[in-house]
């Protein structure tokens, strides 16, 4: 079975797999926001014998989410046809990923953030070892982490924190010196359940 076949199977699995859609879904914490802004991120999986996932780390000078690790992505602009188009545009702007190199599998479970975004993850396969170039205004660095490591439940911890006076739970994954947490880790958790990953 090819990597594409495995990922396609993941998208047809329904919520009967007990996805943690609410563990880091902050819809209940958004009291003062009438409208969520739409955003999209690209889960770019490298097509190699041991697949990886591409992440970016945001610069410390950014107003929103400084220093955080994330998937390439951002707000959906009026000129974007759909979340897939937005995710591909953002990935090109952030790390010079040519959309022609992305084999789109489809969209996974959306998440709502306390900062007011409805985030639509887009799953795609890319060739390995592409020459990414980070845009310093949006990306401090980029890296690839192994898919098997990211989806292994023993590498994912649940933490509790307080935000806007309320307790919430979130996932956290450490890969080398990188901390992957929050919605990004929650998206990976749901993807792992859809893939039916077993240790």
Q: Which CATH number belongs to the domain containing residue 19 in this structure?
A: 3.90.79.10
Query: What is the model's pLDDT at position 196?
Result: 76
* 66 found inside a domain: yes
**pLDDT mean over 122-145:** 95
Number of domains in the chain: 1
- Please determine, for residue 17, whether its predicted confidence score (pLDDT) is greater than 60: no
Q: What is the pLDDT of residues 19-57, one digit of tens each?
A: 555 455 555 555 554 578 999 999 999 999 999 999 999
* 188 found inside a domain: yes
**pLDDT mean over 148-165:** 83
Q: Is 194 exposed, middle or buried (0-12, 13-18, 19+ CB in 10 A)?
A: buried
- Please determine, for residue 125, whether its predicted confidence score (pLDDT) is greater than 60: yes
Q: Which of 34-38, 87-91, 96-100, 128-132 has the lowest mean pLDDT?
A: 34-38
Domain that holds residue 14: 3-193
Query: What is the model's pLDDT at position 89?
Result: 98
| CA angle (54, 56, 60) in 5-degree steps | 165
In the chain, % of residues over pLDDT 90: 56
Q: Is the dihedral of CA 91, 109, 128, 177 positive or negative?
A: positive
């Amino acid at each position: 079975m090819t990597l594409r076949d495995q990922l396609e199977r993941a998208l047809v699995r329904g919520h009967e797999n007990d996805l943690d859609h609410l563990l880091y879904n902050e819809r209940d914490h958004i009291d003062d926001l009438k409208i969520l802004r739409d955003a999209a991120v690209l889960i770019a999986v490298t097509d190699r014998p041991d697949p990886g996932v591409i992440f970016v780390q945001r610069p410390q000078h950014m107003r929103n989410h400084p220093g955080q690790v994330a998937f390439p992505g951002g707000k959906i602009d009026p000129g974007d046809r759909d979340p897939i188009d937005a995710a591909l545009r953002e990935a090109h702007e952030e790390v010079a990923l040519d959309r022609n190199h992305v084999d789109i599998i489809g969209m996974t479970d959306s998440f709502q953030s306390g900062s007011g975004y409805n985030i639509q993850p887009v799953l795609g396969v890319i060739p390995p070892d592409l020459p990414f170039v980070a845009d310093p205004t949006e990306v401090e660095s980029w890296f690839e982490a192994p898919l098997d490591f990211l989806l292994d439940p023993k590498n994912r911890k649940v933490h509790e924190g307080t935000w806007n006076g309320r307790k919430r739970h979130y996932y956290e994954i450490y890969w080398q010196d990188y901390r992957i947490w929050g919605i990004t880790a929650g998206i990976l958790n749901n993807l792992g359940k859809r893939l039916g990953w077993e240790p």
